[in-house]
């Protein structure tokens, strides 16, 4: 049995169906989305970082020092957040589907050869099945048309081509396309993983996370700290054991337990435990705020993603436009009466297509105008007709494509009109002509209808896609922010260019026909494509594979690319873009691969997303400086006290209180403050330039006070109290610097942090829990004085570096 257009429309026998099922030639779709849940757990749980921190947490619990194991909350929270983000992305992809038809209708024969119609699941369609298609159906597998009765197919979601296409016998239908008119039979030629829908689905389902500078930068920080933990940890452990009398004495007397607690305090102080957690909190709050504005964030890191974008690729239909046509102009070309009444009829026709319906905004139907005969619109004919026997619009009227409607008209009347319509079409407008004949419409079946004789052009009509009223303002915003624009569509380049020009896109030109793009599968083709993408701004007739290649080309040129779209034809490009943005009314497959979904389809939401992303980036950068300053001085403590063989001057619980006052509680506020600072790449370098000198100054201040206390022979609880005072007061000046410019909120945060130290030191139950001693006035004066000097040095250093 053949599978071409000339094959018999006879369906498969049940025996043939069973044979194909056994061979695996069914329409079951692949479901793999990359990493399994177990692999996601492994990647987030079994890391060297978690081994060190989690090991310290478990050891303290085993030794009974649960009061010093509070840091374990952040370890657990960070693992849970990481797993949850990746698993949510995996679940979203697992629901991705190009096909959404509930059932398929096929012709099959029983053992006696009798043929009947069967309704089967989409997955149960097999190779060589004969699909029965009618208006409203979705094509469930790639097929070739066998029989067609006015069969029309809409492939706009797949290819971006917005016009319905005539599906004559022999034409190939792509799975995922929709039947919008007529009926027919089609033989299945590709099923399952080989079908067009499955190929798009399979690539779109591959698991990936948003490219996030915050996440990658913090991951690099954690990696560096993890590497440093091993050698520094060895120094710390040895130093604490020596501080209690050496390894043998520590083990023999049980002093190793206190040394272990001190070592854990030293190591945990080096780790910015709350940075990942607070970053996730800032992103989550941003996602919630965007949700209130009808923006669905599929992955938390996407909140910051659009703030980094410097290239925005826009689909035309549904993004720049509202997805509907509007009447642009009507030019009468003769004095034939009744043309306006005829247009009113075409607009009000129950079977009018989108183009004819657009006439209704200007032309109203005449209720008493009696219709004698009509020919409905067909994409194969490219015209519709109506005959009236009313003096106000007597005769036959034909509305359709100028070159077809006027093909048999008198040249003297037709040529000037055809020249005018060609000129209008070249500007990107959709052009129709209304023609009149005094003759009656030929009495034939609609499928065999032909034009009446003696047609004379009456009016030229132009239509355009309605540009969103907010498109110009939104594009102007991105232009001011230094974001380049590319318009990419499956429609005619001239139409795309006209829409782009009306929306306010710069450097439009005539639009580039993507059929002239080079093959990007070779190095030479890639280089040529890169040159075109750097030069051209508007593209038409773009295929889904070309959209993907264009996004990759812009990324090779160094851009951070965002892509908007609503059709399946956009799915691959959205998948590979740095930031995929789908319209809420778009295809399910497109929404599944997108990082952001504009639920109400409002393009004007994008500036608000940029503002939210900027706030997150700026605030997380501030948090990173706060947390990493602490990491810097903690590493300095660990190395200095380890090499000097001095006891570490903090218990883990004491460090938790200091961290809470100087970092933890203020970070909750700083992470959520309004911030409109424009994005600048390199946040990690800026954080390093701030935190390294700040950490060294804070660390040096503390070491000097602790050295004074140890050399003065003060007891350990007294030294620890002096250390808590010194570190809190000095580290709080880092908070003061990062809280500028001051607002009433940041002012309250700083005042509350300083007041918090006084509260901690004045409540007996708290000092008992923290095991703090009462230092003499002299040592308190030294601690406060050193803190004032350290704060002054911090201020001077910051001003010098900031000025530079």
Active-site residue set: 315
Question: What three-state secondary structure class fits 701?
Answer: helix
Residue environment code for 326-348, b if the CB has 16+ CB neighbours within 10 A, otherwise e: ebbebeebeebebbbbbbbbbbb
**Whole-angstrom distance, CA of residue 285 vs CA of residue 298:** 14
Q: What is the dihedral of CA 334, 338, 343, 344, to 10 degrees?
A: 150
CA–CA separation, 253 and 277 (whole Å): 40
User: Distance from first CA to last CA of the chain, Å, rounded?
Assistant: 80
| Torsion angle of the four alpha carbons 616, 617, 619, 621, in this order, in degrees rounded to the nearest 10 | 150
Q: What is the rounded distance in angstroms from the CA atom of residue 501 to the CA atom of residue 508? A: 6
Query: Within a 13 Å sphere around the CA of 411, how many CA atoms are in the beta-carbon half?
Result: 0
Three-point CA angle 370, 372, 377, nearest 5°: 105
Cis before 741? omega within 30: yes
Q: State the DSSP code for 169.
A: T
- State how far the Cα of 295 lies from the Cα of 305, in Å rounded to an integer: 14
DSSP element (H, E) containing 148: strand 142-154
Task: Please state, in angstroms and rounded to a whole number, the distance separating the CA atoms of residues 219 and 508.
Answer: 41
Q: Distance (Å, rounded) from C-alpha 251 to C-alpha 285?
A: 49
CA 429 to chain centroid, in Å, comes to: 32
User: Residue 709 region, left (φ>0) first, then alpha (ψ -120 to 50), else beta?
Assistant: alpha
CA distances from 67 to 51, 250, 320 (A): 20, 22, 58
DSSP 8-state assignment for residue 173: E
Instruction: Give the burial string for 24-56 (b: 16+ CB within 10 Å, else e).
Output: ebbbbbeeebebeeeebbeebeebebbebbbeb
Contact 152, 164 (CB under 8 A): yes
Selection from 314, 208, 17, 177 nearest residue 595 by Cα = 208
Q: How many Cα atoms occupy the beta-carbon half-sphere of 176 within 13 Å?
A: 28
- Asked if 126 and 3 touch (Cβ cutoff 8 Å), the reply is no
Instruction: Judge contact between 392 and 341, C-beta under 8 A.
Output: yes
* Secondary structure of residue 714 in the 3-state scheme: coil
Q: What angle do CA 490, 130, 18 make, to 5 degrees?
A: 125
C-alpha dist (Å) from residue 204 to 34, 40, 229, 306, 521: 11, 19, 40, 20, 19
Phi-psi region of 581 (alpha: psi -120 to 50; beta: other; left: phi over 0): beta
Spatial distance between the Cα atoms of 253 and 11, rounded to a whole number of angstroms: 89
Alpha-helical segments (H) within 175-253: 196-204, 213-243, 247-253
Question: Which parts of 557-651 fold into alpha helices (H)?
Answer: 571-576, 588-593, 606-644
Pairing of the two strands 130-134 and 165-166 = unpaired
The Cβ of residue 192 has, within 10 Å, a number of other Cβ atoms equal to 20
Is 680 exposed, middle or buried (CB count within 10 Å of its CB: 0-12, 13-18, 19+)? exposed
């Amino acid at each position: 049995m053949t599978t071409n257009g000339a094959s018999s429309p006879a369906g498969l026998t049940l025996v043939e169906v069973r044979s194909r099922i056994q061979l695996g030639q069914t329409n079951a779709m692949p479901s793999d989305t990359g990493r399994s849940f177990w692999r996601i757990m492994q990647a987030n749980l079994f890391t060297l970082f978690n081994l060190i921190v989690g090991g310290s947490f478990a050891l303290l619990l085993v030794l009974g020092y649960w009061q010093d194991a509070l840091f374990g909350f952040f370890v657990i929270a960070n693992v849970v957040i990481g797993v949850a983000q990746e698993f949510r992305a995996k679940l979203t992809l697992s629901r991705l589907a190009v096909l959404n038809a509930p059932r398929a209708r096929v012709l099959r024969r029983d053992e006696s050869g009798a043929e009947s119609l069967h309704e089967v699941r989409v997955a149960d369609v097999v190779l060589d099945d004969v699909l029965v298609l009618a208006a409203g159906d979705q094509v469930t597998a790639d097929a070739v048309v066998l029989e067609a009765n006015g069969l029309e197919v809409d492939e706009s979601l797949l290819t971006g081509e917005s016009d319905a296409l005539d599906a004559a016998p022999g034409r190939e239908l792509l799975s995922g396309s929709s039947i919008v008119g007529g009926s027919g039979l089609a033989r299945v030629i590709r099923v399952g993983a080989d079908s067009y829908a499955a190929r798009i689905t399979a690539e779109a389902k591959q698991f990936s996370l948003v490219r996030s500078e915050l996440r990658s930068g913090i991951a690099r920080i954690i990696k560096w700290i993890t590497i440093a933990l091993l050698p520094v940890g060895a120094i710390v452990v040895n130093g604490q054991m020596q501080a209690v009398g050496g390894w043998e004495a520590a083990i023999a007397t049980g002093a190793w337990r206190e040394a272990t607690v001190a070592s854990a305090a030293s190591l945990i102080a080096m780790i910015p435990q709350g940075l990942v957690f607070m970053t996730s909190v800032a992103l989550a709050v941003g996602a919630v705020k965007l949700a209130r504005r009808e923006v669905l964030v599929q992955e938390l890191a996407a909140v910051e993603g659009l703030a980094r974008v410097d290239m925005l690729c826009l689909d035309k239909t549904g993004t720049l436009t509202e997805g509907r046509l509007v009447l642009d102009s009507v030019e009468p070309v003769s004095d034939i009466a009744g043309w306006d009444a005829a247009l009113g009829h075409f607009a009000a026709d129950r079977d009018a297509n989108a183009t004819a319906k657009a006439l209704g905004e200007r032309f109203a139907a005449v209720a008493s105008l009696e219709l004698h005969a009509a020919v409905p619109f067909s994409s194969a004919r490219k015209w519709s007709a109506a005959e009236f026997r009313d003096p106000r619009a007597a005769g036959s009227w034909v509305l359709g494509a100028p070159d077809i409607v006027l093909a048999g008209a008198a040249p003297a009347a037709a040529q000037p009109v055809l020249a005018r319509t060609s000129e209008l079409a070249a500007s990107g407008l959709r052009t129709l002509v209304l023609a009149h004949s005094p003759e009656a419409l030929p009495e034939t079946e609609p499928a065999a209808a032909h034009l009446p004789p003696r047609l004379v052009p009456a009016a030229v009509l132009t239509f355009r896609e309605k540009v969103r009223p907010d498109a110009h303002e939104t594009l102007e915003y991105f232009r001011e922010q230094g974001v380049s624009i590319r318009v990419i569509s499956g429609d005619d380049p001239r139409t795309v260019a006209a829409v782009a020009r009306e929306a306010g896109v710069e450097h439009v030109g005539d639009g580039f026909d993507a059929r002239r793009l080079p093959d990007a599968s070779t190095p030479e083709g890639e280089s040529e494509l890169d040159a075109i993408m750097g030069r051209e701004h508007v593209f038409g007739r773009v295929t889904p594979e070309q959209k993907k290649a264009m996004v990759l080309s812009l990324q090779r040129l160094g851009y951070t690319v965002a892509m908007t779209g609503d059709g399946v034809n956009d799915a691959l490009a959205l998948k590979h873009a740095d930031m995929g943005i789908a319209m809420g009314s778009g295809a399910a497959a497109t929404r599944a691969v997108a990082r952001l979904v504009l639920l109400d389809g409002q393009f004007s939401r994008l500036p608000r997303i940029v503002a939210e992303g900027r706030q997150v980036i700026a605030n997380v950068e501030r948090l990173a400086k706060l947390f990493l300053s602490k990491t810097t001085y903690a590493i300095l403590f660990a190395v200095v006290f380890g090499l000097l063989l001095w006891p570490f001057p903090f218990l883990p619980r004491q460090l938790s209180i200091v961290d809470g006052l100087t970092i933890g509680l203020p970070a909750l506020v700083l992470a959520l403050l309004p911030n409109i600072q424009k994005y600048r790449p390199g946040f990690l370098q800026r954080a390093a330039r701030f935190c390294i000198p700040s950490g060294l100054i804070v660390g040096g201040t503390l070491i000097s006070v602790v050295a004074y206390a140890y050399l003065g022979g003060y007891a350990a609880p007294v030294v620890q109290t002096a250390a808590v005072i010194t570190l809190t007061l000095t580290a709080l000046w880092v908070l003061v610097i990062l809280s500028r410019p001051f607002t009433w909120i940041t002012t309250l945060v700083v005042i509350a942090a300083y007041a918090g130290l006084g509260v901690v030191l004045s409540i007996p139950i708290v000092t008992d829990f923290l095991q703090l001693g009462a230092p003499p006035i002299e040592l308190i004066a030294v601690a406060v004085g050193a803190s004032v000097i350290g704060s002054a040095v911090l201020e001077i250093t910051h001003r010098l570096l900031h000025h530079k």
